[in-house]
Structure 1
Amino acid sequence: MHTIKSAIQLLILILWTLLIIVVTFVTLVLTFHPTWVLTIVRRVWAPFILKVMGVKLKVEGLAHFDRTKNYIILSNHTSYLDIPILLSALPVNIYFIAKKELIRVPFFGWMMWLLGMIFIDRKNAKRSLISMKKAAIKLKSGKNVLVFPEGTFDDSPGLLPFKKGAFHIAVRADIPLLPVVIKDADLIWPPNQILNFTKGIVTVKFGQPFGKTKELDNVKMVQHLKEQAEESIQQLLKN
């Protein structure tokens, strides 16, 4: 019975996402206004996904998010629900940096592509650098960019090693980093389990923003920011 209920929920998620893809495409064609589309995704698509999944969202530390500034938002990666969770928790539109493989994911990857999200090909250094430059341009124009520095998620405990891409972008764009953690989303939709959903409370907690300093050169600064991000997210998880 539980599997049947989960299958129905998954079907609703797919159909809802397909509908939003159509809406976003039509809106883009008629208005050429990506901001409106991002708002639809953030305020309509994401909350409905959480409602279908029975997720109650608890947001802490949002005072650390200054809406007059823009950030590279760094989050741990725990579940397929992380993106709708963060979209629902954040008060502004955001762009994502994601691995290139996600663009092949039916429905969801297509929607990300339509919305102008940034895909990084980690196997190709030249293309990866181009993607980082695109991200830096968005940040310098006042956009907020979300990165999962672990790159992926699995069922192993704790954080996976952080990739350095986000920190190269932070140095290039000179934009502060904002750490955020998601807790218990993996209990709602466990990794590697397509039809095993349960309802519950997910906590999103924002930490103190931080940025580069003038004391270090760019190479050392990338490593320094990476270590600071790992420490900040670990601390938020412990608390």
Structure 2
Amino acid sequence: MIRLVTCFLFMCSYLVYSLPTLSRMKELDKEIPVGERDRIIHKMPKRWSRLIMKITGADIQIKGQELLPEGPVVFISNHEGNFDIPTLLGYVDKPFGFISKIEVKKVPIISSWMEVLNCVFMDRKDRRQAIKSIRDGVELLKEGHSILIFPEGTRTKGGPVGEFKSGSFRLAKDSQVPIVPISIQGTSDVFEKNGRLIKPAKIKVTICPPVDSHLSENVDIKDLAVQVRQIIVDHMD
């Protein structure tokens, strides 16, 4: 309970503290190269994410950073729990935005930071809006930004990796950037498996070898979803 309260209070105070930086990030010079600009913008969210995970007491091990290619990528990860995002934001050495459910857009400050991070809000219940979100994501990738997707669509809470919805793989097909699969294990042990209390846990993140954009171009997106899911499962213990 103490960790849960500490996490909550830290998040609230840090978000308020971040407002001046958020304002500066919105005004950042558009002439700065995309990669450099993204790294500047991600400094505070990265620091915030690492502090959050430190408060949880999590022991985070990450491997495969050397496999990260230059330029934009589509990160594809399984989705265990609520602490997936701060774990990946804090410890993956490549800035990225991510696909989020549209309801988060109503959350003050957090949604503003997500917009600056080039996140895409998607309403899965509205097919037309979902298609538009995919197109927006493709444009961001073509501009040089990276994007993370959880194609299961919901948290497994530590259960088996679910089926990957193929629609989101259109991002990689249409933008022709590499797919970088990520296997994440243990985040559900921090929260979801503890009666909604926060406890220390061991988290393992594995960055898998990229799937070349030319390969994804020549594979049906349903087959691509199955292949990438299998890569992620194969890199789990």
Task: Assess same fold via TM > 0.5.
Answer: yes
Change (3 A) 1:215 1:136: closer
Q: How far, CA to CA, are the matches of 2:220 and 2:178 in structure 1?
A: 13
Q: What are the within-5 Å matches in structure 2 for residues 1-239 of structure 1?
A: 3-20=1-18, 22-31=19-28, 35=38, 36-42=40-46, 44-66=47-69, 68-105=70-107, 107-155=109-157, 157-190=159-192, 193-194=195-196, 196-211=197-212, 213=214, 221-237=220-236, 239=237
3-state SS, counterpart of residue 31 of structure 1: coil
Q: Aligned with 1:179: secondary structure? A: strand
Q: After superposition, give the CA deviation of every residue in 1:89-147 in whole Å (9 maximum; x if it has no partner).
A: 21121111112122234553443234331111112222112111111111112211111
Structure 2: distance between partners of 1:215 and 1:85: 27
Q: Percent identity?
A: 23
Segments ≥4 residues shifted beyond 4 Å: 212-217
Letter in 2 for 1:221: D
Write the letter of the residue equivalent to 2:102: K
Query: Do 2:100 and 2:121's aligned partners in 1 also have CA atoms closer than 8 Å?
Result: yes
**CA–CA distance in 2 between the matches of 1:149 and 1:155?**
15
**RMSD between superposed Cα atoms in Å:** 2.5
Kindly provide the amino acid, as one letter, of the partner of residue 100 in structure 2: A
Q: Distance in 2 between matches of 1:114 and 1:191?
A: 32
Report the count of equivalent residues.
230
The TM-score with structure 2 as length reference comes to 0.85
Using a 3 Å threshold, how does the CA distance of structure 1 residues 83 and 24 change in structure 2: closer, same or farther?
Answer: farther
Which runs of 5 or more structure 1 residues have no equivalent in the other structure?
Answer: none
Report the Cα distance in structure 1 between the residues aligned to 2:217 and 2:68, rounded to whole angstroms. Answer: 26
CA distance in 2, matches of 1:114, 1:90: 18
User: TM-score scaled by structure 1?
Assistant: 0.85
d(CA) in 1 for partners of 2:153 and 2:49? 21
Out of 52-61 and 22-31, give the one that drifted further.
22-31
* Structure 2 CA distance for aligned equivalents of residues 139 and 56 of structure 1: 32
